[in-house]
Amino acid sequence: SNEEEMEVKRNAPIMQIQFSLYPCTGIVFPWIEGFREVAREILSSPNPKWGHNSRKYDFPLLERAGFQVSREWHDTMDAFRMVQSNLNGCYHLQGVASFFGGDQLWKHRMGENMEFYGAMDVDVVQRIIGGLIPTMKRLGVWETYQRHVVEIEPVLQGISRRGLNRDEDEIAQLQGELRDELKALQEK
């Protein structure tokens, strides 16, 4: 099932980590002592972080490994959905990259050359960013993405970790108010 597949992915071991600052660049570190400390330093730096499906996949894996991703983070999958909300099944990295100059196919090569695969993953994120941000600004959705994804998501993640208190009396009172309001609207 889909849920079982996601659980396997959530518990996947980290094999490598990769970074990029500009299109056509990428550095890949094996997930071993020494390189992990360099990765920890990069992830704790004050610059914004970008990834693809990183909010639901990469960052939770890193958090389980004891890493904090600090500062503002962005997810090109979430951002792309603000531009193209009707492309069912096309939000995967290679699909999104095809809109922004990612003209080389590489995802089918997973397992053949993991370093190349990882470098391509971060290279195309940079290419996506270069086209996606101007597109979002032109369409007037950049500020909405900032407010409703970038700023609110860390709050929602905190709530998910801690839980959310329920005040049963307040809930019952609100339900009564809503019933009264609905009745008044129906009578009107």
pLDDT at residue 52, rounded to an integer: 95
pLDDT at residue 4, rounded to an integer: 55
pLDDT at residue 127, rounded to an integer: 94
pLDDT digit string (tens) for the chain, length 188 residues:
455 555 556 678 899 999 999 999 999 999 999 999 999 999 988 888 999 998 888 988 898 898 888 778 899 999 999 999 888 778 899 889 989 887 788 888 788 889 999 999 999 999 999 999 999 999 999 999 999 888 888 788 778 778 878 889 999 999 999 999 999 999 99
Cα end-to-end span (Å), the chain: 48
pLDDT at residue 33, rounded to an integer: 94
Helix (H) or strand (E) holding 27: strand 27-30
pLDDT at residue 50, rounded to an integer: 94
Backbone angles phi, psi at 12, to 5 degrees: -65, 145
Cα of 172 vs its chain's centroid, Å: 36
Residue 90 gets which letter from DSSP?
-
